[in-house]
Structure formats: structure tokens, C-alpha cells
Copies of this chain bind each other. A is one copy, B any other.
Amino acid sequence: MDKPILRIFKIGGKVVEDERQLLAFLKSFSDIHENKILIHGGGKWVSEMSQRLGIEVTMVEGRRVTDAQTLEVVKMMLAGVANKNVVSKLQACGCNAIGLTGADGNSIKSEKRPIKNGIDYGFVGDVKEIDATIIKQLISLSLVPVFAAMTHDGHGQMLNTNADTIASSVAVGMASGFDVELNYCFELNGVLEDIDDPESVIPDIDPVKYNDLKARGIINSGMIPKIDNAFEALKSGVKAVRIMNSKDMDKLANGALQVGTVIQN
């Protein structure tokens, strides 16, 4: 039997924090008719508020070191401001959004990242378990889950978790019940053949093509972990992963046949 479709979208802080871009994105997101989930970041706001409050911002390999004070700021800006802005604006578009963190409904449990190679990320959680049942039940009430990038450890501790990781974990977790399409929305038009030509989008990538592109040095190093993660998700049952420009959400909602780069096995 065919499984129902579930379309998962991840947007980063750049979209969430720009009111005009956010509204345009959310309007198109509301127009998507299939089951859907939104996952958002909001890291720039966390950094800005940390600075306003005199809390030092420390990043290691692009990941935020989250001490106790920074964790409070993450709750404030991600679970508070960003999530409620997104939810209330989706409601205004007629989309029955419900804001969640991993603690809500015990939907995403994580484990505090252990200290490794002398790096202590603090209150950062690595995803351990998705409760696909509760997420499915919320969807069955015609609700649209909107996840802020936070999880919990089940023992009363909220943890900061990378939004890309939450998106792929939720996608994999939902794959047994749905045909899942995972869409990473960012500021480029997709995976580019030529990083200096925004129009040089590679429309689709499969493992053979990926190896060829890598061998020819066409895919830039920043994109490689993203594509590796995409193939990991595909291996775990996700049907397709798309890397696209958040500004192209209207095209996708309008049924355009080709948007961004689609990665498939």
C-alpha cells in the first residue's frame, strides 16, 4: 500500500530573522497541500541576544558552545521568539501550526554530547530517539508541527540541537509511516556546478553522479557533509532530499517540476 506523503522543510536563522523573507516563505509553505513539518533555527538572534546580555559567544567548528547562560538565551530566542513568530504568522496564513521542542509531547529525546578531544559543547544534545507516533498523531489532527531546534534528555534538561540534524532525524524517524521528502532551504539555489554562478544548479544527484562530481572536484567542500548526510537519510528510508533556496518556496508550492537539487538513490 502506498504510504501518505510527508514533506519536511528546514529553514535557517537567515529566513526566520528577516520578517519579509519569512512571511513570503510561510505563505508558500501554507500552500503546500500534503502533510508537512517545519523545522527552524534562529542562531543569529541567539548570538545577538547573548551579546546584549554580555554572554560570550563561542563557536567550535561552526557549532555553538552552549553554557548554562547561553542555553537560557536559546530557550528565549528559539523556543520563545522565533517559534511563536513562525506559529502566529502561519496561523495568519490559515495553516494550523503547533510549535514544539523535543520536550513537547516527548517528541525528540537527546543525550548531552560527551566531552571529546577536549571539546565540551556544554548543553548540546545529540538526537537519540524520535517519537514518530506522537508526531503522526498531531498530523492526524490536521496540525502542522513547527519544531524549534531544541530537544530534551528526559530528565528535565533542555538541550540545544542543530536544526539540520533535527530535520534529518525527524525525516528518518517518520519514514516507516510516510513517504518522506526532506527539504533543506538555504540561501543558494541548490548544489552548484560553479560556486560563482548562482544559476548553475545541478538538478539531481545520485550516488554515481556524486562520486563523479567529487572526483572532478566540482562539489565544494562545504557542500560535501550536507550531501553525505542526505545519502545517510536516504539509506534510512527517506525518499528524497532537496537542497533549495528558501526564496523558491513559491515555485515548489506552485508545483514547479524542478526546484533546487534533488538527491535520490
Contact = CB atoms under 8 A, between A and B. Distances in A.
Interface of A: 52-53, 72, 75-81, 83-85, 87-89, 91-92, 96-101, 103-106, 134, 137-138, 141, 143, 150, 152, 154-158
B92 A156 contact: yes
Contact of A103 (B72, B80, B99, B137): B99
Q: Which has the most chain B C-beta neighbours within 10 Å: A92, A97, A138, A156?
A: A156
Contacts of A92: 154-156
A196 to B, nearest CB: 38
16 contacts: A52-B53, A53-B53, A75-B84, A77-B80, A79-B79, A84-B101, A84-B150, A88-B103, A88-B157, A89-B156, A91-B103, A98-B105, A99-B100, A105-B141, A105-B143, A134-B143
A156 B84 CA distance: 10
A199 B53 CA distance: 43
B80 A76 contact: yes
Contacts of A96: 105-106
Given A79-B79, A80-B75, A80-B81, A97 B88 contact: no
Contacts of A104: 87, 97-99
A79 B88 contact: no
B105 A84 contact: no
A63 B43 CA distance: 32
A141 B152 contact: no
A72 B49 CA distance: 12
A183 B258 CA distance: 56
A227 B154 CA distance: 39
A54 to B, nearest CB: 9
A16 to B, nearest CB: 13
A106 B84 contact: no
A79 B83 contact: yes
Contacts of A150: 84
Contacts of A99: 99-101, 103-104
A157 to B, nearest CB: 7
A76 B81 contact: yes
A105 B105 CA distance: 14
A75 to B, nearest CB: 5
Contacts of A141: 105, 134, 137-138, 141
Contacts of A84: 75, 79, 101, 103, 150, 158
